[in-house]
Amino acid sequence: MTARLIDLDADLTRYARVYLSPHLDDAALSCGGAIALAPERTLVITLCTAPPPPGTVFNAVAVEFHAEWGLAPDEVLRVRLAEDADAMALLGVDYVYAGWLDAIYRMPEAYCSRATLYRSPAPDDPLPRQARDLLTVLIERAPDATIYAPLGVGQHVDHLVVFEAALACPSDRIAFYDDINYALAPGAVERRLAEIGTTLVAELVPLDTSALRAKIAAIAAYRSQMAALFGGTTAMEAAITAYHAALAQDRGGYAERIWRHT
């Protein structure tokens, strides 16, 4: 299947699976195997895809991230969108860019350090309303679709906002995914489940070798992110392979994991 960049005005009734990706890489990192298994009725919606407004004064954490990615501020979005388009093409999936601002550009005064970025949203953050409005549209206009949202492992504010909005939706329409690479840290998923306080049940998504290879190739397309997230592409391949082999346990092979309401 050929990947297509579409918009939210398109007919959404054809989709059986909609993945909400807070940033340009989250869907591939967390769910790339499942997407590769069945791309034909799948849609990826990446939320934070808008350029910083003209005249933005970048805060300390934005400057730090730009340096980690090896990108000048005026090329960040162009490069990352191109990487994402490559990843979506490798997965063969339709995709949408919602055009919202990343936290570090949306509210640079509030989210000005790693400590402030990995926490509950600021009281006047517009993202919760945007996420709720989008989910209302998806529930109505993609009536046969399961909507996959981040579990919020790692506590990134943008992930937490999408989780909370999804948690308020009809439970039979929603599933949550392990946020990779945060979920790779030992005990991180268990700590997040304890914080949530809502009983969720794990469901494994078996992956064959071809799906795992497709996922790894798609992740590798995010070239600017490899050093910061994994220390390089070789380390990424080893970490992703080991994580999904461990999830499969005695079943053999590989698996991703999602979480559903009881």
CATH number of the domain to which 85 belongs: 3.40.50.10320
HSE-CB at 154 with a 13 A cutoff on CA atoms is 20
Low-confidence ranges of the chain (pLDDT < 50): none
- pLDDT digits over 41-71, tens only? 999 999 999 999 888 899 999 999 999 999 9
CA-based nearest residue to 152, from 18, 24, 16, 26: 26
Between the alpha carbon of residue 103 and those of residues 122, 130, 206, 229, 240, the distances in Å are 10, 13, 33, 18, 26
Task: Give the whole-angstrom CA distance, residue 190 versus residue 75.
Answer: 37
- Domain containing 180 equals 5-261
With 0-12 / 13-18 / 19 or more C-beta atoms within 10 angstroms meaning exposed / middle / buried, residue 116 is middle
pLDDT at 1: 66
Residue 249 Ramachandran class (φ > 0 left, ψ -120 to 50 alpha, else beta): left
The sign of the CA dihedral 165, 171, 174, 178 is positive
**Residue 85: which residues within 8 A CB-CB, separation 6 or more?**
3, 5
In angstroms, rounded to a whole number, what is the distance separating the alpha carbons of residues 146 and 240? 25
* Residue 140: per-residue pLDDT: 98
Backbone angles phi, psi at 110, to 5 degrees: -80, -40
Q: E strand or H helix at 136, and its extent?
A: helix 127-141
Tokens of 134: 């989008």
Strand pairing category for 42-48 and 174-177: unpaired
Q: How many domains does the chain have?
A: 1
Residue 176: CB atoms within 10 A of its CB come to: 27
pTM of whole model > 0.75? yes
